[in-house]
Structure formats: structure tokens, C-alpha cells
Amino acid sequence: MHNWEWRLCRDGFGEALLELGEKDERVVMLGADLSESTRALWFKERFPQRFFSLGIAEQNMLSAAAGLALAGLIPFVSSYGVFLSGRAWDQIRTTICYSELNVKMAGAHGGISVGPDGATHQALEDCAIMRVLPHMTLVVPCDYHETRKATLAVANMVGPAYIRYGREKTPVVTAADTPFELGKAYTMRAGDDLTIIANGYMVSQALLAAEELADAGIEARVINMHTLKPLDTAAIEKAARETGAIVTAEEHQLIGGLGAATAEVVVATHPVPVQMVGIQDTFGESGAPEELLEAYGLTAADIVAKARIALQMKTKS
């Protein structure tokens, strides 16, 4: 159907960090024993003086990053999303966000597609618990290019930011020159019958779903909501007004994620049917990524099914 190239989001992160490190001496990195996997190793090898190994101690790492920010540096912290967001949540809340410190967090291994490591390592709640924090900027890029751009973008703003991406290669659905602006949704496909709002890996599935719907004469708008916070509420309201039905798609718990965030805006501005694709209040398990995505309802076919329900509801109302 598509000849998308598949690439690692974390490579985009690692390459952006090298660019940033070259450009700005204030950029430093901290790692908690996962340097190779998170690509922090690339930065460490190029800028050894500016890399700090903190051992398997995420709470100390996040608070030390706060101290480095206070010293005028721009610290990037990377680890697996489960541990970064969960193990150190109070540190992120009270020390970093409450003090509005310039700490940049990169949560790798987000989503169920982490695969064989199983539920312990599949971050499915990270977006919800980061989104709820005042002053936080939260980005869920969809592919290699967007992860690179998101990393550069958060370095350019002052304040706490969290970038979330998966472990596996994902389809490269954007180009190197696709515009990227924090807090500004990007419309990947025009359409007026309904809107699919997705982020992360699910953007590719949304595009596939839109094609399938188009074959049936339904034109779906596809919005890449890469920034979960601050949320582009104008784009959501516009989609509700112009298309009258919305389907959201995310590789995350439905509770507190993109679907919930979208619904919050829709009910407050222009109520229309909203159907959600995502993890349904359950933990994951071991398996191949593609098996898990199918078993937990995170495919283009699942989006199409929800779209049909949303369209039926739209017609009735």
C-alpha cells in the first residue's frame, strides 16, 4: 500500500542531540545506564565532558538535571518512558515543573509495541501523568524526522519538556522539510466527512485508515497532534465544526491520553461524536510488536471501525 521507509525515532533524537551539542555548549546529557539504547551514547562519545552517568537511579538523575538547569545548562535526560515518567514523577512534578526548570526529558520505549519485554517496560500511562503537570510541554512525535525536529524545538524553548516515542522502527510519514511547530497540529490529509486525530505511531495507521475510508467514498481529515501539551484546541474545535465527527488514535491508555484530551476540548466547544482507539484500561504483555498492536486494537482497521461508528452517530444526531 505504501513504500514508507521505516526508521527509529530514537535515531532522530540522538542525531538532534549531536546537532544541539555542536551548536550550544550549554547542552548536557544525563543517562541512567541505558545510554546505547536511548542513543545518549552518541552524545557521550562526541562530548564526553558534557555527559553525566548517574547509574540506575532515575529520581536522582531528574533532580540532578534540575540542578544542572539551575546552573545555567540545558540538560537532556533520557531513559525508558516507564521509569522516566513513573519512577521520578514526584521529582518531575515538585522540583522541575513547580520551579519551572529547563529540563528536557526523552522517554523512549513508549507504547505496547515495545513488544517482548512485556508490560513492565511498555509505557502506556506516561502521557497521562506528564500531561497533568502544570508548565509541562509534551510531544509525541510520529517518526524519525518529527522526533529530530521535536528535540530541536524543545531545546529552543525555556521550561520543562517531555518527548515520548517508541522502541521499534516506525513508518516515516513526514519529510525532512515538513513544517513542525510546538503546539500546532499538522494536517496530514484534507477531508470533511470526519477527522482522525492521531499521534506517534498511530499517525501512520490513521493515514492508512483514511485511504480505506476514501475507497468507500468517505473523506477523512487526518490531523497529526504531535504536541499533547499545549494542545492545539483551535484545530480540534475546527475539526469538530467542519467535519462533525472525530476518531482519536494513540498507543497509550485511553484514560488521560490524546482521546481524553480531545474529548475535553470537543465537549467544551462544539460537541460532536468522538470515538477513541487506544489501550483500554489494561496492561500489555509479551509478544511481537505487530501481534500486540493487533491484539490490543491499534491498527488501521480499528480506526476504520471506529470511524464507521462515529459517522453513524453523526448521521443520527
- Please state the closest distance from residue 73 (CB atom) to another protein, in A: 5
- Please state the closest distance from residue 75 (CB atom) to another protein, in A: 8
58 part of the active site: yes
Q: Based on the number of CB atoms within 10 Å of its own CB, is 153 exposed (0-12), middle (13-18) or buried (19 or more)?
A: buried
Annotated catalytic residue within 19, 22, 45, 58 = 58
The binding site for another protein (CB under 8 A) comprises 28, 49-50, 52, 54-55, 57, 59-60, 62-73, 75, 90-91, 93-95, 98-101
> Which CB, 67 or 116, lies closer to another protein?
67
Would strands 220-224 and 186-189 be described as parallel, antiparallel, or unpaired? Answer: antiparallel
> Which CB, 50 or 145, lies closer to another protein?
50
- Please state the closest distance from residue 48 (CB atom) to another protein, in A: 12
- Please state the closest distance from residue 17 (CB atom) to another protein, in A: 17
User: CA-based angle 116:279:37, to the nearest 5?
Assistant: 40
Instruction: Please state the separation of Cα 152 from the chain's center in Å.
Output: 15
Element (H, E) at 52: strand 51-53
- Please state the closest distance from residue 207 (CB atom) to another protein, in A: 42
> Which CB, 100 or 242, lies closer to another protein?
100
> Which CB, 89 or 162, lies closer to another protein?
89
> Which CB, 29 or 222, lies closer to another protein?
29
Active centre residues (catalytic): 58
